[in-house]
Amino acid sequence: MNPVNRPSLSRSAGPVLDGRLRILSNAETRGIRRTLRCILFLLLAGAVLGGCKGLTAGVPRPGRDDGAIAAQVRSLIAQDPELKGSQIRVFVLEGNVTLSGTVPDAGPKARLLNAVKDIGGVRSVGDNLAVRKAPG
């Protein structure tokens, strides 16, 4: 019986050479690591830049626009004579309203919080309002 003829492997066709594993040099290892890091970075960057907006694009949000809610809350503050001069900050995110600042009395504060809860599209109201101490 004739022995099986193997083709000559005079040039490397990958990590296997003549049936033995070829040891990679440090430079080759660094190159492979650098390439893998670049690929990973590009994949993550693509997911962050493209994926986040793509998940919610074209999907209507329930409720009202945050800007419209904030405008209505500021209008309530401007219409109340006891709160008119108060420095009240209004922050709205996805229907969650947060009020912060100082009010002159507990009565106008309670009135404002109840009025904000009744605005259409408001999911919750965060109260960071402080009652100003009366001088004396």
Over residues 94-109, the pLDDT tens digits come to: 999 999 999 988 889 9
Q: Do 126 and 71 belong together in one domain? A: yes
CB 97 within 8 A of CB 124: yes
Indicate the number of domains in the chain.
2
- Looking up residue 124, the CATH number of its domain turns out to be 3.30.70.2210
Degrees, nearest 5: CA angle 117-92-132: 70
Look at residue 92 in the predicted model and tell me its pLDDT. 94
Whether residue 37 lies inside any domain: the answer is: yes
Q: Do 50 and 94 belong together in one domain? A: no
Whether residue 84 lies inside any domain: the answer is: yes
Look at residue 98 in the predicted model and tell me its pLDDT. 94
Q: Do 86 and 39 belong together in one domain? A: no
Whether residue 107 lies inside any domain: the answer is: yes
Q: Do 70 and 51 belong together in one domain? A: no
Whether residue 9 lies inside any domain: the answer is: no
Q: Are strands 96-103 and 88-93 parallel, antiparallel or unpaired?
A: antiparallel
Regions in the chain scoring below 50 on pLDDT: 58-60
Look at residue 22 in the predicted model and tell me its pLDDT. 72
Eight-class DSSP state of 84: T
Q: Do 52 and 70 belong together in one domain? A: no
Q: Do 52 and 92 belong together in one domain? A: no
Look at residue 101 in the predicted model and tell me its pLDDT. 92
| Structural domain that includes position 20 | 16-56
Q: Do 36 and 73 belong together in one domain? A: no
